[in-house]
Amino acid sequence: MNNEIVVLITGCSTGIGRELCEALSDRGCTVIATARNVETLRDLKAALKLHIDVTERESINAAIKEVMLQFHKIDILINNAGYSIRGALEEINVDDAKNMFEVNVFGIMNMIQAVIPQMREKKSGKIINIGSISGKFAQSINGAYCASKFAVEALSDTLRLELNDYNIQSTVIEPGPIKTNFFKTLSDNSDSLMSNEKSFYSRFYKSDVKYRKNQKQASPTETAKVISNIVLKRKLNLRYKVSVPFLYKLIAHFPDWLREYLMRRR
């Protein structure tokens, strides 16, 4: 049965997206791997490798057209493309934050608008949005990224309400820290701001850098295996926490006042 399942994944050049291609291909799925730079997919196990920039509708439409031409359907869409920037809300570059939202939030909307019509026509499909445990509670100097992942939670919940009559399922995966290029990209995007010794938020920045250096990060391969098991389930839950440290799971369920107290102490 799995060889009939067509899965399209965004953001496959590195990290979880790349590992998901391998894991789902190993499970017998027909995997379409996509990235802004197709060259990064050269040695990846996938049935088809396509250019998609989730912020550009033209590239999305061209890719969907090619998939439908070759495979006639998309059973599962995994919205994985995304990245992070750090910085206090007072200091962060708003244009940088907008660019992040274009990928993390509006990129998902672009993809679902392109894929849903054919899912609705065949009255089945799954939309898997890769969120973050940061979409469950806010952290200082991480507000913009948290806001984008809070939005992913809302999009996923809304999709379920709107698509229930068409047998299209939606869920959000909430990973914890994973050992991928995610944190390198974060540093590349944020270090110039966070290295400012004169910043009013310098102590937050120094604390964050120290925390990230010592932070335990889960294996992307093992994380992808867990996610692949989830997406192939017949019935999806509303959301899944994957590779989330026990303390983070607790914090996500604490009352607001206790969660904020712990975040301030951190």
Position 1 confidence tier, pLDDT thresholds 50, 70, 90: very low
CATH fold label, 2-265: Rossmann fold (3.40.50)
Please tell me the distance from the alpha carbon of residue 208 to that of residue 191, in angstroms, as a whole number.
11
Is the Cβ–Cβ distance between 33 and 48 less than 8 Å? yes
How high does pLDDT run on average in the chain?
Answer: 94
Render pLDDT for 21-72 as a digit per residue (tens, 0 to 9).
Answer: 999 999 999 999 999 999 999 999 999 999 999 999 999 999 999 999 999 9
Kindly report, residue by residue over 182-198, the tens digit of the pLDDT. 888 888 888 889 999 99
Say yes or no to pLDDT of 4 above 80: yes
Dihedral, CA of residue 156, residue 160, residue 119 and residue 78, to nearest 10: 30
- The pTM score is 0.94
Outline where the chain has alpha helix (H).
15-26, 57-71, 94-101, 107-122, 143-163, 182-194, 202-214, 220-231, 246-253, 256-265
CA dist 182 and 41 (Å) reads 17
For the chain, domain boundaries? 2-265
Task: Average the pLDDT over 231-244 and give the result.
Answer: 97
Nearest to 212 by CA among 190, 196, 197, 193: 190
Rounded mean pLDDT, 208-232:
92
Given 145, 201, 205, 240, the catalytic residue: 145
Specify the amino acid at residue 165.
D
Respond yes or no: is residue 145 known to be catalytic. yes
Q: How many CB atoms lie within 10 A of CB 71?
A: 16
